[in-house]
Structure formats: structure tokens, C-alpha cells
Amino acid sequence: MPSSLARSLRTLFRIKRTEREMEREMSFHLEMETEKNMRRGMSREEARLAALRSFGGVERVKDECRDVKRNRPLETLWQDARFGARMLRRNPGFTLLAVLTLSLGIGANTAIFSVVYGVLLRPLPYQQGGRLVVLRQQAPLARNNNLYFSVKEIDDYRAQNRALADLAEHHSMAFTLFGGPEPERIQAAVVSANFFELMGVMPLLGRTFAPSDEAHGAEAVLILSHQYWRRSHKGDPNIVGRVFRMNDRPHTVVGVLPPLPQYPNENDVYMPTSACPTRSSERFIANRNARMMSVFARLKAGVSEEQALADLSTIAGRMKEAYPDAYPANLGFSLRLASLHKELTERAQPTFLVLLCAAGLVLLLACANTANLTLARLMRRERELAVRSALGATRGRLMRQLLTESALLALAGGALGALLAAWSIRLLVRFAARFTPRADEISLDNTALLFTLVVSVATGLVFGLLPALSLRRNLVPSLKEGSGQSAVSAGRQRLRSALVVAQVAVSFVLLIGAGLMLRSLLKLQEVGPGFDPERVLVMRVTANWSKYTTGQQYRDLSLRLIERAQALPGVLSAAMASTYPLNPFGLANGPNNVNFQIEGRPPNPNEPTPQVDYRVASADYFRTIRLPLLSGRLFTEADDAQAPWVAIINQTLARHRWGDEDPLNKRISFDQGRNWVTIVGVVGDVRQYGLNQEPTDELYRPVRQTSGAGNLLVRTAVAPAVMAPQLRQVVYSVDPENAIDQMQTLVSVRHESIASPRLTTVLLGLFAALALLVTAAGIAGVMALTVSQRTHEIGIRMALGASASGALRLVLRQGLTLVLIGLALGVAGAFALTRLMSTLLFAVEPTDPLTWLAVAAALAAVAALACFVPARRATLIDPLTSLRSE
Amino acid sequence: MAKTKSDLLQGTLDMLILKTLALETMHGWGISQRIQQISSGVLNVNQGSLYPALYRLEEQGWITSEWGSSENNRQAKYYRLTRAGRKQLDEETANWQRLSAAIEQVLQAG
């Protein structure tokens, strides 16, 4: 308000001053004229009247003056715009092509910018999100970079710290929710009551937790996450107050959250610590080594991350001294602190920035193309411009006219581009979700639209300035006939050639980027996963947590599921396992590392404890996924709870711990030697954590001797999707309170595991293809103009005896020279830039010679074709006709 | 782009104003007197139409104004040619001469 008031006041003041000055100036004029008339002999009155008459209507003059002062800048702009629009309408071909090219370039940039802004730049949707940090305890010597926290440790940090305003705990567990049509497995985040207050989150519906919710014995309450509320309850506005049954307790819904990025994992509901059976047990609370929770904290005002880390590390040091059993030296126990923003965005940064660069290059190409087209048009409009110049238009005025036309084109391209971006945003959000939890914050909002506007105007200036500056100061000589060979045309032709060279160079860089990604993707797909995923269906089965309390019960459940599944016709083999290869849960959380010791090798406190990725699998697991047995035997029915404990290891573990020695019949222990497990078989390696990750040390224990196998795998004779409903029935028939989720085929699991690089490749490929198209069009355009301009010259040559192919060679040579220069520049540019994308590549160097050669050849071929087609027209020149028309 | 006679006249008036100010700085009334003198009364425009032209030329940056006291100690607004204005005048003059020479050739040829 105040600023617009000030502006209005200033304008008013200016107007009043102008009025006063006008009045004074006119009265001066009239007085002088009056005096002149009086000197001629008229009386004062007659002189005055005569002066007024020869002046003309004073008010009318004042009005005209006011018009001049008021409308001047805007009036010409509006005139220019109207004129420009008319000119563009008269050339629909050019206008359409230009607008389309620009819209693709601007649209791509807007879309990628929305992603970059929404994820990397926008502040977190928490109050003062920049002060939020994530704490992490680590044992780097034990190769464990996330130890989590125990209740006692959190209490110590909370009580002794001086750098934090507050801290809150968070851990996630899976429970089964009853009350819907099917038992539903939900992921619940168990948090301290101050969690939402710490983050500064206001609920969408209802309320957040109060300290009373955390009290021992308090009624169990739930807060729903936004995604879960929309997905499973259709955004029911009356959800607050509904009661669900979970863990044999009623839980009342007290609130719904607004959309938020969920870290460290997606959770469906939130509950206070008192509602989690594990967390609220006395034994768990008292055990310093029972570590399960993550910790979020808010820095005090004015405290930096380094200061906070130093403060908290002091506390960690005190703990190490006070409780040496809980912190043995071979852990290398330490604390790490990172801003929440960094944790949410780190993984996405390299890919998104590469895509932004690519989009920027595509826009540059679009600008170069449009500049080229505009220059070509300018050559045809020279006559019109010359006439206007002769009749009084200044060079500045003409330049402004041309720039306005360019701005109109660019704005139209920008509007269309914004539409294209809006259409593609949903796909990009799904793509971004693989890299960051903040994907839901991406939208085509006001910032993105402002960006579009700025980019459009800048684009218009960039591609408009070049032709506008090429206007000579004196256009009148072009009025003469036959001025096509003037020096200006030659200069313009050089400019167009330079643009083509630039286009070729930029296209090369983009093509190299896309080519490298493609090669990397192909290498990734070639990686042998170590198992056969064909026709295997997997699903996660979650039992009702509170009903199954002993290991024996879980074992029996697993065995019954296998038995019933195996009995189905069409099922070749069925198995249960704690995980399966490329399991998305595993990809997110990493190995289930468990300490062990090898018989005959006593533990050495100065070395890191041996660890292994501990799995549970039923006997038929290996057969079901066709994991080859390399030596020894697989599990049998004889390996049950009464028999000696056995295990199967993978080849990596065998080589790592036993080298060339045969590991069969060697023994290891997981409980400091109280019980020993014999190794009975060695199987092949699988790529468990990604096709681009090396296999880890893996060990399998039979389901019959332990428990905890939550995934059902089934190899079918027919397409797995056909068997899916029957398998669901089987699972419910064993126990109707079982919850099933993550049902998919192993083939699609494998496909999903390389989704990120695949999508990145697709996007870069799209940009590169676009670039190639635009560049080819640019080359063809310049070549066509060359041919038409040199028609006369070629006609003479042919009349003097040159052959048609000779004419072709002449024209081709000119075009191909440009292409070669462009390629050379492109090579230099690509060399510099592709080093930046090495983090995205798998098993491929940025300077991979095969890719570079292939891309250079492809670009040269396309460019040559783009030269050839118009150049061929040179051969069709009839010397007689060309000589006559001049 | 001149389309009507008044536009053409406007262009001519502009040139005359610039030419007048090229010789010396003067106020509005002085300019009108000089134009009447130079054109020997042929260009008999209303004196008032001078002022919108002056204001327009000032907007375009070819002349600039400031208040001063006149011969008889009255407050008057004096106009002066800027460097851009001088350049503009030279260009316009050259263009005009070329165009009129071309037209004359056309008229003279048969």
C-alpha cells in the first residue's frame, strides 16, 4: 500500500509541475507575441487577440502536449507490437516454426527448473527448516555408518547438550491395521511427542501430539500422513475420531498431516512412543545397546552445525568413557551431523543439475535456430526497411521494431512452452521421486511461471539482438536494384554460418551426454544378476505382530504357507525368505549386517569384527530363483530345529574369509561361541543391492532352524500374474489376519532397480534427438540459401563447362567445412563438460572412445545429409535460366 | 512510416526545429519567429503546434530544455540541441537530400 501511494503522489506532483511549466511557457509566448503586435501599432487588446489567433487554441495545444508527455513510451511499444503481430501473421510458416522450436526449448527448461527449484532450491516446508539437522551415530571401523540411537543415549544427549533448542526421536515399524476390507500392512513412524513441534508442522486436520500422549499407559492415538490419508481413505474429511485396531489395541485418529517430504522413509501413520510395544517395554528402555531410533534436532539460534557437532561429540566422548562395554574400541564410535535439507536433496543433485544443463543447451540451440530464421527473413525484408528508413525512421526505431517482433515470438513460444511443461510435470514428479522424498513439492507454481517469463524475454533478446544489430546505419542504397550481393548480405551469411557451427558444436555435446548414458545403461542391463527372475512372483506377508510372539509360531506359519502354495497347480516351487535379490527394501536400507566369529579365529579387539549379511531362506529358495549351488548341498527337511545348526554361504564370503581353502564343514558362531553353525554349502553371488553394486558377503540360514522369513516367492509354470489371486487366497487361508503387500514379479523388480538411470537416459536422449533435429534443420536452411544466392555464379560455371557434380561438390564443400569446424568445437566442449557427469555413469569412462566415435559419425552423417539435399538443387540449375534472371 | 500529409509535415517541422536550434539556443517563441523568417512565410503553421513538437523532440532526447531569463528579464524555457539531436539532424538532412535528388531525377527523365 504505502509504496503505491508514494508512487501516485509522485506522479501527481510531476503532473502538477508539468502543468505549471506549460502554463508559464505558453503565457510567455503569448506575451512576446502580444508585445510584437503592439510594436506594430495595435492596442493592447487587439494585440492580445491577434496573438491568440495566430497561436491557435491554447487548450488544444496543451492537450496535445499532455498526450506527448503521457503516452510516449507505451504508445510506440503498442504500435510496434501491433505492427509486429501483423508481420508475423503474414509469414505463418516462419512464425509457426519459430514458435514451435522456442516452445520446446523454453518448455524443457521450465519443466526441469520446476524440478530443480522444488527439490533443491525451495526452503523446506518446515518452520525455519534450515535449522533442522539429522544426527547419526556411526561405527566406521565396523563398516556401519548408521548405528541408530538407544533411549539412554538420547536421554544423555538431551540432558547434556548446549547447542540444540530441542531434539526428537523417530523410528519406523510395520504393523497390521484392522478395520478395513483387508488386513493392511502399514508403516508406522514412532516419534516423541515433541516431533511435530520441533519440525514446526501444523496439522491439516485435527491436532498433533501433546506431551500427555507420550505418558506411560496413555490411550493410543494416530496421526495419518497426507499420502496415506488420500490413498487409503480417499481424503475422508471425517477421519478424525475414527478408531482402528492394531497390535490388539484400539488406536484413535487425532489428526492428519499436510503434504510433507518423509524422511528417512515413507510412513503411513505416526504414533507416540508409548503406543509402540517394543519401544515402551522396560527392558528396551534400560538397555544402552538397544539401538533403533533416528534423531532429529533443531539448532539453537546463532549456533552453527560445526559448533553443534563439537558439543555433541563431547557428550559422545563422555559416554564412551563412562560405559566402555557399550562402546568397544573396534567400533570407532563417532557422531555425525547433517542438515535435513542436505539429507533430502544430496542424492538428487548430480542428476538434476546435468538435466538442467542439457535443457539449457537445447534452449541455446532453439535460439540459434530462430536467429538464423530471422536473419534469413531480414534479408528478404531489406527493401521494406530501407523505405521506412528513408521516410524518417531512425535505426533505433527499426531495431526496436525488430526486437518487439522477436519478443512477441519468444512470449508466444514461452506460453506454449509453459503448457508443454505443465503437461510433462506429472511424469517428472514420478521420475524425481526416485531420488528424493521432496518430489511431491514439485509443481508449476508462480516461481516457475516467473522463470518462464524471464527466460522468454531473455530468449527474445538473444535471438533478436543478433539480426537487429546487423542493420546497417544507412539502408537507402538497398533501394537500388540487384543489391543482393551487397556487403551486408555477406556479413549476414557469415553470421548464419557461425550460428550453424555453434549449433553443430552444442548438438555434439548433448549427443555425447546421451550416448554415454545409453552405453552405461546397456552395460548395466548386461550385468548378470546371479539368478533367474523369469516367472517368479514375490510378495511380502506380514503376520499380526501381537498374535505371533514366538519364533516357533513364525516358523510354522512360514512352513504352512510354503506347503499350501506348493500344492497349487501351476506352481513349480515355493519358498519363503527374509529378502530377495534387488528387494526395494534392501536397496533403501542396505545389508542386514550381523557380527560373527570363525572357529579357530578368536576375535581381535583391534580389528573390525567380521560381519555378514544375514538371511533366512527356506530349502527351496535357491531352486525357486535358480541360484546355482557351487559346492556342498542345499537345505533339506532334515535341517530342522532339533538338528545341528547349518548355514549356506555365497562365493564372495567364501573367498573373503577362507580364500582358496574349502569352507565346507567349517563352523562359525553368532553368539560369541555359545552356539556353532556349520557351513554345508556354497552358492553363487547375487546382485542384491543393485546391478551396479558388487555382491556382499551373504549367509543363509534355514527357516526351519530360525524364523523371520517375510517374503513368499513362487516360481510358476504360467504367467505369474495369472496365479496372483489364487496365491492371495492361499495366504489368507493360512491366516486371515495376514497382510499382503509389494506383490510383483521378479522381472519387474529387476526392471525397477535400474529405473533411475533408464529414465535419465530417456530424458537426455530426448534432448539430444531434439538437438539433432534442430541442427539438421539449421544446416539445411543455410545450405538452401547458399544455393539460391549462388545460382547466378553456378549458372556461369556450368555454362563455361563445369559439370553438375562439380557444382554439387562446390556447394557441399562449403557446408561440410562448417560441419567439421562445428565438430571440432563440439569435441573440445564435450571434453570439458562430460567429466562433470561421471557420477552418473556405470562402467563407462566419460572419454569412452567407442561412444565418441559413434556419436561423431552419426552427427557427421546427419549433417552431411542435411547439406546434401539442398545442395542437390544446385545440380538442377539450368545455366540459361539462371543467367537470364538477375 | 509517413502515411498522411500531416505526418510528412510533422517530420519537416521536426527538422526545421532541429536546424534552428543547431544555430543557437532559444525559447519557443524565438523558434517560431525564426521558422517564419527562414521559410519566408510558406510554412504557415499555427504557432501553437510548435510546442507538442518541442515536447516530442525532448522526449526522444534530441533537444533538452532549461529555464532561464529572457532579454526582458522574464522567465522562459530555453531549448538546446543535444549531441544525439545533432547526429539525427545530419542523418535526416543527408537522407532528405538523397531522396529529393532521386525524385528530381525521376521527374526530369522524359
Q: Does A23 touch chain B (CB under 8 A)?
A: no
Asked if the Cβ–Cβ distance from B48 to A56 is below 8 Å, we say yes
Contacts of A390 in chain B (CB under 8 A): 95, 98-99
A397 touches chain B (CB under 8 A): no
| Dist. CA A136–CA A866, nearest whole Å | 58
A476, A477, A692, A880, B85 from A481: Cα distances, Å: 11, 9, 69, 21, 32
Find the closest chain B residue to A18 by CA distance: B55
Nearest to A61 among B1, B48, B98 (CB): B48
Q: Are A134 and A274 in contact (CB under 8 A)?
A: no
Phi, psi for residue B69 in degrees, rounded to 5: -100, 140
* Interface predicted TM-score (ipTM): 0.87
Could you tell me the pLDDT band of residue B7, with boundaries at 50, 70 and 90? Answer: low
Please check whether residue A239 touches B, CB under 8 A.
Answer: no
Total number of domains constituting chain A: 5
Non-local CB neighbours of A824 within 8 Å, separated by 6+ positions: none
Q: Nearest chain A Cα to B53, which residue?
A: A65
Note whether A395 and A519 are same-domain residues. Answer: no
Contacts of A386 in chain B (CB under 8 A): none
Chain A residues in contact with B77 by the CB 8 A cut-off are 21, 24-25, 28
Q: Contacts of residue B6 in chain A, CB cutoff 8 Å?
A: none
A72–B56: do the CB atoms touch at under 8 Å? yes
Which position has the higher pLDDT, B90 or A2?
A: B90
Q: Which residues pair with A167 in a beta bridge?
A: A297
Helix (H, G, I), strand (E, B) or coil at A611: strand
**Domain boundary residue, one of A715, A737, A759:** A737
* Residues A119 and A175 reside in one and the same domain: no
Closest-CA residue in chain B for A473?
A: B91
pLDDT for the residue A401: 83
B70 CB neighbours in chain A (<8 A) are 28
Task: Report yes or no: A748 and A538 within 8 Å, Cβ to Cβ.
Answer: no
Domain ranges of chain B: 5-108
Segment 340-359 of chain A within 8 Å of chain B by CB? none
Which residues pair with residue A745 across a beta bridge? A537
Phi, psi of A710 (to 5 degrees): -105, -5
pLDDT (tens digit per residue) in A150-183: 999 999 999 999 999 999 999 988 888 887 778 8
Residue of A nearest to B92 (CA): A392
Contact B95 A57 (CB under 8 A): no
B63 and B21 Cβ atoms separated by less than 8 Å: yes
**Average pLDDT score over chain A:** 86
Q: Does a structural domain hold residue A555?
A: yes
- Cβ–Cβ contact A65 with B under 8 A: yes
**Is the CB of residue B92 less than 8 Å away from at least one CB of chain A?**
yes
Assign B1 a pLDDT band (cuts: 50, 70, 90): very low
Interchain contact A472–B (C-beta under 8 A): no
Q: Are A709 and A801 found together in one domain?
A: no
Q: Please list every residue in chain A whose beta carbon sits closer than 8 Å to the beta carbon of residue B47.
A: 29, 33, 54-56
- B 13-52: CB under 8 A from A: 27-29, 32, 46-49, 51-52
Chain B touched by A71 (CB under 8 Å):
no
Report the Cα A198 to chain-centroid distance in Å: 28
Domain shared by A298 and A175, yes or no: yes
Residue pair A294/A262 in contact (Cβ under 8 Å)? The answer is no
Are A317 and A390 in the same domain? no
Nearest CA in chain B to A57: B48
Q: Over 60: is that where the pLDDT of B84 sits?
A: yes
**A767 and A874 belong to one structural domain:** yes
CA distances from A305 to A119, A159, A833 (A): 22, 19, 33
Q: Which of A21, A58, A390 sits opposite B95 (nearest CB)?
A: A390
Same domain, A233 and A153: yes
- The verdict on A449 touching B (C-beta cutoff 8 Å) is no
Chain B positions touching A26 (Cβ under 8 A) are 48, 51
Positions of E strands within A24-65: none
pLDDT for B2: 42
| Cα–Cα dist A441/A121, whole Å | 11
B11 in contact with chain A, both atoms CB, cutoff 8 A: yes
Q: Which residues in chain A have Cβ-Cβ distances shorter than 8 Å to B52?
A: 61, 64-65, 67-68
List the helix and strand counts (H, then E) for chain A.
25, 22
| Distance (Å) from the alpha carbon of A61 to chain B's nearest alpha carbon | 6
Nearest Cα residue in chain A from B68: A25
Q: CB A56 to CB B47 under 8 A?
A: yes
Chain B nearest CA to A378, separation (Å):
18
List the grid coordinates of A620.
527351496
Q: Does A49 touch chain B (CB under 8 A)?
A: no
Angle at B93 between CA B91 and CA B98, to 5 degrees: 95
Topology given in CATH for the domain delimited by B5-108: Arc Repressor Mutant, subunit A (1.10.10)
H-helix or E-strand spanning residue A715: strand A711-716
Residue A18 within a domain: yes
Interface membership of A33 toward B (CB under 8 Å): yes
* Pairwise CA distance, residues A498 & A565, whole Å: 70
Q: Which helix (H) or strand (E) holds B80?
A: strand B75-81
Rg of chain B over Cα atoms, rounded to whole angstroms, equals: 16
Residues whose CB is less than 8 angstroms from the CB of residue A144 and which lie 6 or more positions away in sequence, other chains included: A138, A331, A593
Q: Are residues A618 and A697 located together in one domain of the fold?
A: yes
* DSSP of A472-532: -S--GGGGSTTGGGSHHHHHHHHHHHHHHHHHHHHHHHHHHHHHHHHHHHHHHHHS--SS-
Query: Do the Cβ atoms of A618 and A632 come closer than 8 Å?
Result: no
Question: CA dist A773 to A361, A369, A511, A718, Å?
Answer: 14, 11, 12, 45
- To the nearest whole angstrom, how far is the Cα of B94 from the nearest Cα of chain A? 10
A54: contact with B, CB 8 A cutoff: yes
Q: Which of B28, B47, B88 shows the shortest C-beta gap to A394?
A: B88
Give the residue from A332, A365, A390 where a domain finishes: A332
| Identity of the amino acid at A498 | A
Asked if B76 lies within 8 A of A21 by C-beta distance, the reply is: no
The candidate with the shortest Cα–Cα distance to A99, out of A414, A465, A321, is A414
Q: Which of B12, B36, B51 best probes binding to A when mutated, by most A CB atoms within 10 angstroms?
A: B51
**Hey, are the CB atoms on B59 and A72 less than 8 Å from each other?**
yes
Q: How far is CA A249 from CA A183, A215, A219, A272, A281, in A?
A: 15, 16, 9, 14, 16
* Pairwise CA distance, residues A441 & A444, whole Å: 10
Do A653 and A727 share a domain, yes or no? yes
Whether B74 contacts chain A with CB within 8 A = yes
- The per-residue pLDDT for A702 is 93
Mutation to test the B interface, candidates A24, A26, A28, most B Cβ within 10 Å:
A28
Q: How confident is the model at residue B9 (pLDDT cuts 50, 70, 90)?
A: low
Locate A716 and state its grid cell: 510358476
The answer to whether residue A470 sits within a structural domain is: yes
Average pLDDT estimate for B2-23: 72
| pLDDT tens per residue across span A89-122 | 887 878 888 888 889 889 999 999 999 999 998 8
Q: Which residues of B touch A25 (CB under 8 A)?
A: 27-28, 51, 76-77
Q: Tens of pLDDT along B24-72?
A: 999 988 888 888 887 766 655 678 888 888 988 888 888 999 998 888 8
CB-based contact B51 A72, cutoff 8 Å = no
Closest CA–CA distance from residue A495 to any residue of chain B (Å): 27
Classified as helix, coil or strand, A629 is strand
Q: Which of A21, A392, A393 sits opposite B77 (nearest CB)?
A: A21
- A563 & A694 share domain: yes
Whether residue B3 has pLDDT greater than 60: no
Q: Which residues of A touch B36 (CB under 8 A)?
A: none
Say if A389 is an interface residue toward chain B (CB within 8 Å): yes
Please identify every stretch of chain A with a pLDDT value under 70, giving residue numbers as ranges: 1-4, 6-8, 70-75, 390-394, 472-489, 708, 874, 877, 882-886
Same domain membership, residue A599 and residue A646: yes
Parent domain of A124: 76-130+348-480
Place of cell 518448455: A107
pLDDT at A488: 62
The reply to whether B103 touches chain A by the CB within 8 Å rule is no
With respect to residue A135, please indicate whether it lies within any of the assigned structural domains.
Answer: no
| CA–CA distances in Å: residue A730 to residues A447, A718, A720, A726, A772 | 52, 17, 15, 6, 55
Question: Nearest-CA residue of chain B relative to A53?
Answer: B46
Q: Which of B28, B74, B98 sits opposite A476 (nearest CB)?
A: B98
Residue A617: inside a domain? yes
